[in-house]
A and B are shown apart, each in its own frame.
Chain A
Amino acid sequence: MKNAYLPKLAKILEVKKESIDTKLFTLAFSDKKEQKKFKFEHGQFMMVGLPNVGEAAFDICSSSKDNKKYFQVAIRNVGKVTAKIHGLRKGDRVFVRGSFGRGFPLDVLKKRNLLLIGGGCGTVTLRSIILDYMNGLLGKNKIQVFYGCLNEQTTLFKSEEKAWKKKIEYVVILEKPSKSWKSDKGLITALFDTHEILPNAVAILCGPPIMYKFVVQKLKEHNFKDEDIYLSLERRMSCGIGICQHCAIGSKYVCTDGPVFSLKEIKDLKLPGAF
C-alpha cells in the first residue's frame, strides 16, 4: 500500500514571473526515477507546498513532451502557502504529491476541434493543451483560444503568445486594458459575437464560476451539446484521493471524479452556488 499523504521532494529548476501576481515554476522530482516515470492528463493537478506551511492544488501547465525532465505549475500569490512559494528561488526545494484527478479525455483532445476558454488564472490549465498541440502531440484538429483577463498586468504567458498565434487562433480580451490596448476589450462572452466559432468543436472551460455561468449560456446559443462542454472545477483539495470531503460537490469529489467534468455530468447536481 502506498502512503498517499507523504509528499515527495522536488527541486525548483526555474522561476519565471508571468504577471504582477503569478509566477511560473519549473519543478523536477529530486528522485530522477520518479521524474522519468512522471505522467499526467491535461487538467490534472499537483499538490505543491512546504511541510511547515501547507500545500495547495495547482494544475499542471507544461507539455507532456517534457515529462521526463520536469513539470510546470503557475502559481498566483493569493494566500499563505502561495506567498511562501513565491519567496522561493531556483534551486530551492518544494514538496509535491500527484498527479491527481481526472483530466480532459485525451481522445476528445486528439480528435475534435477545440474551443479553449480561459478566464483569469484559470487559463493556466489550458497551457498544457496548447503546448502539446504546438508540439504535435494532439493530432490535426483545430484549436481556438479565448482568454479573458482583467488587464495587461495580469495577463499570463505573454512571451509565448506570438509563437502560439502562428498555429492557432489565440484571442485575448481584456476587461480593463490600458489606452494603448488595440485588441478585443470587454468580457469574454463578447468574443462569441465578434469571432467565428470553430465548427464541430468541443468547448473546454477553465475559469471562475461566474464565467462558467455566462459562457455556458453562449455555448448553448451556439448549439454546443452538454456532453461537448467540459469544465474544470476549482475546490479546496486536501487529501487528493477522495476521502477528506473538502472538495465534495453533490455526489462527487472534485479531486478524484474531477476536476474536469462535462456539463452533462454536473448540470443536474443542483449545487449550492451553481458550479
Chain B
Amino acid sequence: MTLNNIHKIFEYLEKDNQLFGPKQGKELRFSKLRSPKELDLSGKIPINSLKEVLFPASHELYLFDDKNVFEIKYDSPKIVFFGLTIFDLKALDFLNQVFEKDLYYQARRREIIVIGLSYTPTKEDAADELLKNYEEDILEHLQFDLFIDRISKNNFKLFTGTRRGQEILEKLKIKDYEHIQFAGLIREQGIDPVAKKNRGLVSKSTGGEVWQKWGKLCLNCGKCTIACPTCYCFEGERKLKNKTKGWVNRIWSSCFYTEFGEIAGKIKFLKTSADRIWNWYNHKHVRNFDEFSISGCVGCGRCDRVCPANIKRLEVLKSLEK
C-alpha cells in the first residue's frame, strides 16, 4: 500500500470528521489536521497527546441559575484520531476503563474513529520495556478501527480492528488488509510481568528514603502530569455569567500542586515534595494496577521529555530496586 492510499483514507474521512494526528511544526504535536500533507507518518511520539481532545483541559459539566442546575448535552463531534502509536492506543484503552461510567467521556469516545500507526523508536523518546515487549500479538490487545504499519516512506501495511474500520476500506475499495480480532487488553499469558514488578517496587518503597532524593530534585511543576496521556486528575471550576447564572467546568488538576487534596483548615495530606512524587508513581503503578490489572504508565516517555529537573521515569523505578 502506498502513501497515496493513506491520503485517500484521509480525504474520505475528512468529509464528515475533524481529523487529529501528529503534525510537524517546531516540534511534533498531536494537532488538528487540515490536509493529508500535514499528517506526519514518521511514527514518532508527539509531545502532547490525544488526551487534549478526548478529555479536554476544560469542558462544561452543567449549567445553573438561581433556581436549578441543568444538564447539558455533551459536545461530541465526529473525530478521527489519525496516527496513534501503540503507546497512545494503550493510553486510550486505559482511559476508556477509567471513564467507563463517565457520561461525558463516553459520549465523546463513541464518535471517535481510531487509526493506529506503528512506532518508530528515536533517541529522544522512550525505548523502554514496552518496546522490548513489542510482540507480534500486540495489536490483538489494542483497540483501533484501522492500524497502519509503516514499512518504509511509501510502503504501508493495513490492519482493521473493527467492522467500522472494514467499512471505511470497503468504501474506498481497498482490499489489501488484514483483520485483527481484539482479544482483550490482557494477554493470554496473564498480567504484564513488568507492570507487576513495578507495582511491587513502588509499593515496597512507600515512605522510603529514596523518595526524599527524588523529592529534592522534583520542582512540583506538574508538567509531567499535563504531558502524560493517562493522567486524568480533575476538579470542578465554577464560572459566573452574572450573579446567579453560570456553569460548572471540569478542569484538569495535578497531584503535584500543593493544594491538591487540601481540606478545610488548610490541612494537607501530601505535605512534601517527596510525598507528591511518590503519590504520582504510586497512582500509576499501584492504584491503577490494582484497579485495572494494567499499569497506568504506558511507557511513552513524555514525562521524561518535559521534566525541567531531568527526572527520568526509568531511573526512578531503577532506584527503587536498591
Could you list which residues of chain A lie within 8 angstroms of chain B, going by C-beta atoms?
A: 1-7, 9, 51-56, 76, 78-79, 82, 93, 95, 234-236, 238-239, 241, 243-253, 269-273
Contacts and interface: CB of A to CB of B under 8 A. Distances in A.
Contact of A248 (B62, B263, B283): B283
Given A5-B62, A52-B64, A241 B207 contact: no
A247 B261 CA distance: 6
Task: Please list the 5 inter-chain residue pairs (A to B) with the smallest Cβ-Cβ separation, ordered nearest first.
Answer: A51-B64, A78-B264, A272-B275, A79-B264, A245-B233
Contacts of B62: 3, 5-6, 51
Given A270-B207, A272-B207, A244 B101 contact: no
Given A1-B101, A250-B287, 20 more contacts: A2-B103, A3-B71, A4-B101, A6-B62, A6-B69, A9-B69, A51-B238, A51-B246, A52-B238, A78-B264, A82-B264, A236-B263, A238-B234, A238-B236, A244-B253, A245-B233, A245-B255, A269-B206, A270-B207, A272-B269
A256 to B, nearest CB: 10
B287 A272 contact: no
B233 A246 contact: yes
A253 B262 CA distance: 15
B283 A245 contact: yes
B interface, how many residues as a size bin? 35 or more
B282 interface: yes
A236 B101 contact: no
A228 B240 CA distance: 48
Chain A contact residues: over half helix, strand or loop, or mixed?
loop
Q: Which of B67, B104, B232, B234 has the most CB of A within 10 A?
A: B234
Nearest to B247: A51
Contacts of A271: 206-207, 269
Contacts, number: 113
B101 A241 contact: yes
A75 B265 CA distance: 14
A202 B235 CA distance: 36
B78 interface: no
Given A79-B264, A246-B260, A6 B71 contact: yes
Nearest to B279: A248
6 contacts: A2-B101, A52-B238, A53-B238, A54-B236, A238-B235, A273-B275
Nearest to A57: B263
B238 A5 contact: no
B237 to A, nearest CB: 9
Given A53-B238, A56-B264, A244-B233, A250 B68 contact: no
Contacts of B102: 4, 243
B278 A236 contact: no
Contacts of A252: 287
Contacts of B279: 248, 272
Contact of A234 (B68, B263, B286, B290): B263
B261 A7 contact: no
B99 interface: yes
A9 B68 contact: yes
Contacts of A236: 261-263
Contact of A246 (B235, B248, B272): B235
A235 B269 contact: yes
A7 B238 CA distance: 14
B250 A249 contact: no
A53 B275 CA distance: 30
B112 interface: no
Candidate in A3, A55, A56, A95 with the most chain B CB atoms within 10 angstroms: A3
A99 to B, nearest CB: 17
A258 B239 CA distance: 31
B261 A235 contact: yes
